[in-house]
């Protein structure tokens, strides 16, 4: 099973050594090693020193973007379904020192405050079959990095990499994903992306619907575009009959029910302001929505709720496959580690999909030590489950 997974990217590594190192690196990311940096991954692979792992991330000849393309195709193959949503979001990587590419004191939601950190912008793909991270960009701050040639050179940042806003980085991931055949009719994201008019315009030009969070101070046009008013003012003026109770999806404690209202904005009948109200606290959240065809309120609510899938991806990637365990400073090394960690997470997600071929095979492999065969059909329901992905590594999922 793992060997079939590895075979998808084996051709990206022209020589035997980096190919073997990549296999060991991925197995290490999938293992229960407490920390998943080069030293620990080398130890997990039975190596005396981390040299092969370090060379894989820095000096070996392979294209991380090509492996990213393989990851994206893998996610579509194993998770593709009607109702797919692309989600853009960022996560921070708190670091020490000032040499890591893109690091500076900046706000990161990971810490909930300003910290010395790197920030990565990610694209996630979510369907009824699962969710996975399928693309990544390292944010390069304009003042502290883009205009400092010496610092750029030391961190290995290519000359053609220039400053781009986070919404622009998001579009550079969304457009290729759609062109590559990712089955997604919708894009969603938080305020950092919903507030950007160029991103919304690009999605509309492509005919891709969106449900994007915006600030309460956002001004929208109501009354067929004649009146410009703040979003929170609209919410204050809505009658009680405008609110409908709907679920934004399942949470840890069951369906996540909120009160929802939607209002036509502009002159386009497919453009709305969506408002969510917490039934206990009364807290409000606002979304600008557009779709190429008419959709019901329930569909907009579903897409808004799917946005939280990316937070689950970050939590799983950092907690299970070492997304943030790296100890590298170089631009190329960051993208290589992050790509392999994303691929490992996609593999776990595919295993958990109850309708995938791999999951069907688990009926025979789950909880079965290497070299033995199950004596009776095994139940695939319940958690945790275990399968052997090679002769030495047992994987709980």
* Four-point Cα dihedral 357, 358, 361, 366, nearest 10: -150
- Per-residue model confidence (pLDDT) at position 310: 96
- Per-residue model confidence (pLDDT) at position 364: 41
Q: How far apart, in whole angstroms, are the C-alpha atoms of residue 146 and residue 111? A: 25
- Per-residue model confidence (pLDDT) at position 349: 94
Cis check: omega of the bond before 90, within 30 degrees of 0: no
Per-residue pLDDT of the chain (397 residues; tens, 9 = 90+): 788 889 999 999 999 999 999 999 999 999 999 999 999 999 999 999 999 999 999 999 999 999 999 999 999 999 999 999 999 999 999 999 999 999 999 998 888 899 999 999 999 999 999 999 999 999 999 999 999 999 999 999 999 999 999 999 999 999 999 999 999 999 999 999 999 999 999 999 999 999 999 999 999 999 888 999 999 999 999 999 999 999 998 877 788 999 999 999 988 889 999 999 999 999 999 999 999 999 999 999 999 999 999 999 999 999 999 999 999 999 999 999 999 999 999 999 998 866 555 444 443 433 334 444 333 333 334 444 444 444 444 444 3
| Under 8 Å between Cβ of 184 and 178 | yes
The gap from C-alpha 187 to its chain's centroid, in whole angstroms, comes to 12
Residue 378 tokens, joined: 């095994």
Q: How far apart, in whole angstroms, are the C-alpha atoms of residue 208 and residue 36? A: 38
- Per-residue model confidence (pLDDT) at position 355: 58
Residue 116: its H or E element: strand 113-127
| Under 8 Å between Cβ of 288 and 222 | no
Phi, psi at residue 7, to the nearest 5°?
A: -60, -25
- Per-residue model confidence (pLDDT) at position 253: 79
Find tokens 């699962």 and name the residue. 130
- Per-residue model confidence (pLDDT) at position 372: 41
Taking alpha carbons only, the member of 79, 56, 85, 57 closest to residue 352 is 79
82: left (phi over 0), alpha (psi -120 to 50) or beta: beta
The gap from C-alpha 6 to its chain's centroid, in whole angstroms, comes to 21
DSSP three-state, residue 247: strand
Q: How far apart, in whole angstroms, are the C-alpha atoms of residue 143 and residue 221? A: 36
97: left (phi over 0), alpha (psi -120 to 50) or beta: left
Taking alpha carbons only, the member of 345, 348, 356 closest to residue 397 is 348
- Per-residue model confidence (pLDDT) at position 354: 61
């Amino acid at each position: 099973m793992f060997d079939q997974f590895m075979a998808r990217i084996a051709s990206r590594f022209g020589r035997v050594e980096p190919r073997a190192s990549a296999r060991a690196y991925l197995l290490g990311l999938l293992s229960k090693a407490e920390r998943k940096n080069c030293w620990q991954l080398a130890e997990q692979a039975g190596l005396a020193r981390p040299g092969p792992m370090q060379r894989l991330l820095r000096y070996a000849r392979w294209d991380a973007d090509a492996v990213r393309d393989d990851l994206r195709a893998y996610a579509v193959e194993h998770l593709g379904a009607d109702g797919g949503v692309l989600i853009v979001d960022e996560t921070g990587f708190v670091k020490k020192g000032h040499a890591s590419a893109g690091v500076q004191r900046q706000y990161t939601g990971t810490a909930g405050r300003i910290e010395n950190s790197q920030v990565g912008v990610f694209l996630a793909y979510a369907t009824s079959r699962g969710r996975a991270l399928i693309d990544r960009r390292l944010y390069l701050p304009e003042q502290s990095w883009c205009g400092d040639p010496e610092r750029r050179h030391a961190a290995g940042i290519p000359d053609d990499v220039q400053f781009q806003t986070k919404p622009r980085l998001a579009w550079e991931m969304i457009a290729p994903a759609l062109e590559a055949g990712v089955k997604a009719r919708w894009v969603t994201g938080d305020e950092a992306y919903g507030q950007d008019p160029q991103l919304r315009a690009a999605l509309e030009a492509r005919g891709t619907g969106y449900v994007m969070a915006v600030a309460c101070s956002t001004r929208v046009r109501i009354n067929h575009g004649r009146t410009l008013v703040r979003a929170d003012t609209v919410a204050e003026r809505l009658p009680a009959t405008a609110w409908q109770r709907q679920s934004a999806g399942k949470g840890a404690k069951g369906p996540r029910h909120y009160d929802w209202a939607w209002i036509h904005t502009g002159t386009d009948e497919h453009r709305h302001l969506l408002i969510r109200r917490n039934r206990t606290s009364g807290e409000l959240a606002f979304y600008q929505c557009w779709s190429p065809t008419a959709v019901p309120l329930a569909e907009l609510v579903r897409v808004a709720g799917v946005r939280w899938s990316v937070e689950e991806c970050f939590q799983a990637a950092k907690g299970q496959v070492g997304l943030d365990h790296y100890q590298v400073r170089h631009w190329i090394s960051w993208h290589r580690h992050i790509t392999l960690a994303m691929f490992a997470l996609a593999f776990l997600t595919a295993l958990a999909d109850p309708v995938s071929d791999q999951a069907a095979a688990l009926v025979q492999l789950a909880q079965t030590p290497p070299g033995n065969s199950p004596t009776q059909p095994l139940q695939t329901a319940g958690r945790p489950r275990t399968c052997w992905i090679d002769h030495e590594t047992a994987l709980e999922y």
